[in-house]
Structure 1
């Protein structure tokens, strides 16, 4: 079987299993076992028997809806590479828009805080693209914090373990830009969550009360403590929360310029606001 035929068969297996991106995932897994990149697969003439065996094992696991990134051990986020696996939320491409917004507002010397940092994706991207920024991050879950430690090592990011509701008392009133990708799925929306996330992402990173807004309410209060007057906050939410998530901030009377932003598919994706002076 040629590599092209192998990929065609593998894609079919993943498609039958309900994997959303079968061609992409089949190619990524083959590149992984061959120690190459997906773009260089057309240059491959032969797949060794040992690689075929490993590939088949990974296809079985992916067909069982284990996340692709858990199988390769790597996720890519903007211009940075992240180590991921069981115990940490796999960063989504949509969140790159929130990181891009923060990068656009951070300048050299700016104090930036990333709450609910998870793998450290947003914090690492900001540190990478705004090297003069002073970046801080916090994660509550012990397992996720260990992944963040690995990903943020050597970046200069001040990583702490703790609760977003009480973190960074020492920075109160000094933060210029605050980001957060909080849990935002309602508890009764279990069945609507993709199997990869529901079965493998930490539930602490997914679910947030009856309406999915509990963590966002905590964020509104904490951001008001940490930001300087005129400082800005940006946070992700579910696509059905394009009105309810901004309303949490608007209702407090402490924020100006509260607005929502769509992702590349036109779906409501993240909210930004400025602390009133």
Structure 2
């Protein structure tokens, strides 16, 4: 038996030394996962059995090597939905919940809206939209085969129309009929390889991370493809890196068909996503 308090203190020090920013939180989440109880219930635990300590140590070693926490627990929460995640799929980030929230506000304004999630990855945005806007018809597409398999698992039974394909050519059958297009595309410049956190660089699919020399290749494709899919007056929302708060709006403004181009900040005050309306 080992003391829960001592276990967590030691684990926090090890993760902190390994460069994990949320060391204490991750240690608690891993122990809670091993014990099969909510993180908040750890205060009720005094001692941890030897078998559980061994399992915790194994996960701790992997986290210290910067394997994503969500890969170790097998799940990630996104707004109101819990997603299965693991190797081969981009782990959804809390910042993206703001883009999903914007899309939900737009869908709430419409009676029978059609929404498309281009490059759905794990299916996070599409799943959240289907759960929180049941009146909407939700469509999603993913190119990467491994990511598609995760999305298929997460979107099963949600009513989302999931397709395996390229966001640049998907949904010809919906041309001119879509009210909202939303996307969290790849946006990391190739030259920024070394600056990407190991959890993402070494474990997220590169197709979901990198997008040309300036990180804007996918955004340029979206600026064109969304024009095909949206009805006149429909809206587009695109996530981007915090250093692209001017660059992404400039891409849309330069595409010629977009009005009301605006950038939005996340809760930390950093540029996070751009929205625009297709000219009427």
Alignment TM class, shorter chain as reference:
over 0.9
Give the structure 2 partner of residue 217 of structure 1: 220
1:86 aligns with 2:100: no
Give the structure 1 partner of residue 194 of structure 2: 191
Q: In the TM superposition, what is the alpha-carbon distance from 1:157 to its structure 2 partner?
A: 0.2
| Runs (4+) off by over 2 Å | none
Give the structure 2 partner of residue 124 of structure 1: 127
Match of 1:109 among 89, 109, 112: 112
Q: In the TM superposition, what is the alpha-carbon distance from 1:49 to its structure 2 partner?
A: 1.2
Give the structure 2 partner of residue 70 of structure 1: 71
Question: Any idea what SS the aligned residue of 2:48 has?
Answer: coil
Give the structure 2 partner of residue 145 of structure 1: 148
Question: Any idea what SS the aligned residue of 1:239 has?
Answer: coil
> What is the rounded CA distance, in whole Å, between the counterparts of 2:82 and 2:28 in structure 1?
19
> What is the rounded CA distance, in whole Å, between the counterparts of 1:262 and 1:160 in structure 2?
31
Q: CA RMSD in A?
A: 0.6
- TM-score normalized by the length of structure 1: 0.99
> What is the rounded CA distance, in whole Å, between the counterparts of 1:170 and 1:30 in structure 2?
48
Match of 1:261 among 257, 264, 278: 264
Give the structure 1 partner of residue 229 of structure 2: 226
Give the structure 2 partner of residue 43 of structure 1: 44
Q: In the TM superposition, what is the alpha-carbon distance from 1:47 to its structure 2 partner?
A: 1.1
Q: In the TM superposition, what is the alpha-carbon distance from 1:46 to its structure 2 partner?
A: 2.2
> What is the rounded CA distance, in whole Å, between the counterparts of 2:53 and 2:3 in structure 1?
12
Q: In the TM superposition, what is the alpha-carbon distance from 1:45 to its structure 2 partner?
A: 2.5
- TM-score normalized by the length of structure 2: 0.98
> What is the rounded CA distance, in whole Å, between the counterparts of 1:15 and 1:239 in structure 2?
25
Q: In the TM superposition, what is the alpha-carbon distance from 1:2 to its structure 2 partner?
A: 1.6
CA contact under 8 A between 2:5 and 2:46: conserved in structure 1?
no
Question: Any idea what SS the aligned residue of 2:219 has?
Answer: helix
- Unaligned segments of structure 2, at least 5 residues: none
CA contact under 8 A between 2:185 and 2:208: conserved in structure 1?
yes
Question: Any idea what SS the aligned residue of 1:208 has?
Answer: coil
The number of aligned residues is: 277
- Tell me whether 102-111 or 8-17 shows the greater mean CA deviation: 102-111
Question: In the TM superposition, what whole-angstrom CA distance separates every residue of 1:148-173 from its partner, at most 9, and x where no partner exists?
Answer: 00000000000000000000000000
